[in-house]
Amino acid sequence: MKEQNLKFPKIDKKWTLFLDRDGVINEKIENGYVLNIQMLKFLDNVLPAFPILSQIFGKIIVVTNQRGIGKNLMSIEDLESIHRFMLREIQKAHGRIDAIFYCPHDYEKEECNCRKPKIAMALKAKAMFPDIDLKKSIVVGDSKSDMEFAKNIGAIGVCIGENISGDFDIFYFRDLKAFAGALIEVL
């Protein structure tokens, strides 16, 4: 992992946490999609991170590209069933997610303004929760498009897993719990 000389600002309940789903909350299926609840496997240390993150952030929002819908591999109902299951498991672990926004489009077939790194999902979150200040937000993802999304909304980018090259300053952590632990140290 890349050395980090960055420091987190003081985070409080006025801050919003935007989370990617695949590769951050659950295992990413390379060249595939999570099509049902049996395929959703939480990453190690994710569920224990949610109670910590829920105490720190005022809002926790999932923003996820779900191209499998646009490719007709799954329906919106399938995705919503997966998300209900995910929310129940996070709540059982004493965590929370305040809202989930997704882009269902297949970018090879149709244009849209919601696929990350475009910012429509962040704007929808702000419309739903007007107190969100995008400049007081952190985006946690595992891809370059997630980090570009963070930059595009003026948020701090946090990458889970591998280093990503690009024109942005970002933090790197092995998993969501390591990120949560780093935040506790600066509170």
Catalytic residue positions, numbered: 20, 22
Strand partners, 157: 139, 170
Spatial separation of the C-alpha atoms in residues 23 and 146, rounded to whole Å: 11
Quote the CA–CA distance of 87 and 110 in Å, as a whole number: 30
CA angle centred on 44, ends 20 and 103, rounded to 5°:
15
CB 156 within 8 A of CB 7: no
What gap in Å lies between CA 6 and CA 68, rounded to an integer?
36
Task: Work out whether the CA dihedral 159, 165, 170, 174 comes out positive or negative.
Answer: positive
- How many residues are there in the chain? 187
Which residue type is seen at 114?
A: C
Q: How many CB atoms lie within 10 A of CB 146?
A: 28
